[in-house]
A and B are shown apart, each in its own frame.
Chain A
Amino acid sequence: MELLVAIAVGLLTTAGLYLVLRQRTFPVIVGLSLLSYAVNVFIFASGRLAIGLPPIIADGAAGYTDPLPQALVLTAIVISFGMTAVILIMALGSYLEAGHDRVDMTGDDAE
C-alpha cells in the first residue's frame, strides 16, 4: 500500500508541476490544484498508513492510527480550496481586463 500511495503522490506532483509551467492561466490553476491534492495525500501518509484502526480512543481497539495528520489535512484542504477560489477570480478578472490569459507580462503591461 505504501508503494501505491507513493506512486499516486508522485504522479499528482509530476502532472501538477508540468501544468504549472504552462503559459496560460487555466492550466496553471489546474496544476496548482493537483499539487495541493498531492500534498494532502502526502500529509495523510506522514502519520503512517494503517487500515481499519480508529483514530480516537475506543474500547477493545487493536491499535490506533495517528489522528493529527487527519486534522492537518482538513486544515490544508480548506485553505487550498479557498486559495484556489481566490486565484480563479483573479485570473478571470485579469482575463477580462487584458483580453487573453497568457501568464507572462509583456512590455505593454509594464508602465
Chain B
Amino acid sequence: MAVHALRQLSLDTVIQECHAESRQERQRESGYCFELFRRAMEEGDQAAWAAIAVQYRQLLLNWIYGYRAVTFTPDEAEATAHEALERFWRTLSARAPDITSHFAHVGALLKYLNQCVIATILDQQRRAQRRARLVERLQADAIALQPIASDTDALERLCRAEQVAQVRQWVQTHVTDPHEQLVLRLSFEQALTPAQIAQQYPQQFADAQAVRRLKERILKRARRGLSAIHDESATDMAVDAEQPR
C-alpha cells in the first residue's frame, strides 16, 4: 500500500492489519507494521506504542528465552522485554527519531529491536559482573567494609547503570589533579593498597600515609558531591556495619 494511503488509515486499522501482516511471510508485507512504528516514533503516538508492546511482546519473550547463556524466570523475562522496548525508544528518539530515513522496512526495525534485547541482557551481565567484583573487593578489603558485601539491595543499587554513570561523571569533573587521578585509578580500578602505591610510585608519593591523605580527600569530596546517592547507600549500609575493634 502506498505510504500516503497508509498514513490516512485509523490507528485501529493499522494495528489490526499489522497483526495480520505479522502472521504472513515477509515477502507479503505491505507496510502496516512499519507504519505502526512510524506513528510511535515520529508522531509520538502513545497508543501506537502500547500496540507495539502488545504486538511484539511474545516475540521479545521468545528472543529472551532463546538467549542460551542465561535462564530467565517469567518475571525476569518480562522485565527484560520491557527494558528492551524502553532502550529501543530511548536510543532511537535520541539518535534516529525519523525512522523512515534510517530503516527501510519493519524487518530492519525488528533486527534493531532484537539487538536492543541483546544489549539489555549484556547490560544485566555487566551489572552482575560489577556486583561480583564489588563483593570480591569488599570481602578482600578491610574488615570494616565486609558488612556491606552482604547487603544485596545496596549493592544492586550501587551497580545500576544510571548510578554508575552519575559517579563517573562526578569523577571526570571533580578529580582533575594528576596525583589524585593516579590514586583513584590505582586504588579503585586496580585495587592497590596505599602501601603498594607508595612503593610503586616513590617519585609521586613519599609514603603510604601520603597516598591515604589524597585518597581520603577524594572520598570526602565524593561524599559531598554525590550526597544523594551516598545518603541512600549510607543509610542501608550503616544499619549493620560494624566498626573494627
Report whether chain A binds chain B. no
Interface residues of B (CB under 8 A from A): none
Interface residues of A (CB under 8 A from B): none
